[in-house]
Amino acid sequence: ALVNSNEMFKKAYEGGYAVGAFNVNNMEIIQGIVAAARQENAPVILQVSAGARKYASPIYLKKLVEAAIEETGLDIVLHLDHGEDFEICKACIDDGFSSVMIDGSRFSLDENIALTKRVVDYARDRGVSVEAELGKLAGIEDAVNVSAKDATYTDPDEAVEFVERTGVDSLAIAIGTSHGAYKFSGDPSLDFARLETISSKLKGFPLVLHGSSSVPQEFIDLNNKYGGKIPGAQGVPEHMLNRASKMGVCKINIDTDLRLAMTASIRRTFTENPGEFDPRKYLSPARDAIRDMVAHKMKNVLGCSGKK
């Protein structure tokens, strides 16, 4: 069934694992992720960004997710990723999404609270769960020293105040992850001390990590071998995500790794079979590559295999 994330996060919190939230843009991506969830008996969140909604046009992804639920019988959360204002959250709630993110992280604490509260009030009556974000995800070169970290990473006391004043269901925090394929210029590191402080102040409350692709070297190498050019890419090491999943983090967002797996596979087919021009011939292996990558995350990184 289509479910909100509340029960999923309660189980994930208590079980010390995280649910993967994977960004979806088309049918093959949805099918690859859902095949992995079925294979692993894992809970799953499919999330749609504003860009995805625009690319596919609003109704298509919703209908494809409904088809996946109907075909598999799985419990799936359909979530809006990075809703930037009340209007897009309302539109997705009205369209039948079961969960939304309101991302007011660019605003002051008070403005972020007011905006988030407005979305929570609208979502609550409709059974929709709400994620918010506090702190700024650092990009490469950002937050290298302590004062930069204090300026951008999530402040633990503000997190407590934020959750109390908004009544939000989950909170994305900034501890050193960032979006995309270039997360660290030097050695990767996350601020686990900060995560520990936040989760001990917010006992029982589900935290979210964005920017959590691992950018596996295998996919970078395959892309580069078959004509791509993605030098110097680096993600969050899998063992760090696994550690976070045991520290109150209940949702881990992954998009970049889907893109890398899919594109590596398509590049390979194009290179190895230059005479092939039937889209099914390159999209089937790409879909399988997504399935295998997602199944690996569920089993070895998130710890959610068998937790359906």
Report whether 266 belongs to an annotated binding site. no
Report whether 133 belongs to an annotated binding site. yes
* Residue 223 · residue 267 · CB < 8 Å: yes
Question: At 16, is the secondary structure helix, strand, or coil?
Answer: coil
Minimum CB separation from Na ion for residue 8, in Å? 11
Question: At 176, is the secondary structure helix, strand, or coil?
Answer: coil
Q: Does 133 bind ligand G3H (CB under 6 A)?
A: no
Report whether 253 belongs to an annotated binding site. yes
Of 81, 155, 169, 257, the active-site residue reads: 81
Binding residue (CB under 6 A) for ligand G3H from 16, 41, 51, 281: 51
Report whether 256 belongs to an annotated binding site. yes
Total residues belonging to the chain:
308
Judged by CB under 6 A, the stretch of 125-133, 206-214, 219-227, 266-274 that binds ligand 13P is 206-214
Q: Does 210 bind Zn ion (CB under 5 A)?
A: yes
Distance CA 17, CA 41 (A): 14
Judged by CB under 5 A, the stretch of 113-121, 124-132, 249-257, 267-275 that binds Na ion is 249-257
* Residue 137 · residue 176 · CB < 8 Å: no
Q: Does 255 bind ligand G3H (CB under 6 A)?
A: yes
Output 202 or 293, the one with its CB closest to ligand G3H.
293
Question: Is 81 one of the annotated active-site residues of the chain?
Answer: yes
Residue whose pair of structure tokens reads 């702190």 in the numeric block: 135
Q: Does 254 bind ligand 13P (CB under 6 A)?
A: yes
Q: Does 136 bind ligand G3H (CB under 6 A)?
A: no
* Residue 260 · residue 181 · CB < 8 Å: yes
Distance CA 34, CA 64 (A): 11
Output 119 or 202, the one with its CB closest to ligand G3H.
119
DSSP state of 96: T
Contact of residue 250 among ligand G3H, Na ion, Zn ion, none (CB under 5-8 Å per partner type): Na ion
Minimum CB separation from ligand 13P for residue 224, in Å? 19
Q: Does 250 bind Na ion (CB under 5 A)?
A: yes
Dmax over CA atoms of the chain, in Å, equals 60
Q: Does 207 bind ligand G3H (CB under 6 A)?
A: no
- Could you give the string, one character per residue 18-37, with x where binding to ligand G3H holds by CB under 6 A and - elsewhere? -----x--------------
**Nearest to residue 212, comparing CAs of 40, 47, 8, 37?**
47
Distance CA 18, CA 252 (A): 6
Binding residue (CB under 6 A) for ligand G3H from 49, 197, 224, 284: 49
| Burial label, 49 (beta-carbon count in 10 A; 0-12, 13-18, 19+) | middle
**Nearest to residue 190, comparing CAs of 246, 250, 137?**
137
- Crossing angle of helices 256-272 and 217-225, in 10° steps, is 30
Q: CB-based contacts of 238: which residues, under 8 Å, 6+ apart? A: 214, 300, 301
List residues binding ligand 13P (CB under 6 A). Answer: 23, 81-82, 179-180, 210-213, 253-256
Q: Please state the residue numbers annotated as binding site.
A: 82, 103, 133, 179-180, 210-213, 253-256
Catalytic residue positions? 81
List residues binding Zn ion (CB under 5 A). Answer: 210
Q: Please state the residue numbers annotated as binding site for dihydroxyacetone phosphate.
A: 180, 211-213, 253-256
List residues binding ligand G3H (CB under 6 A). Answer: 23, 49, 51-52, 81-82, 179, 255
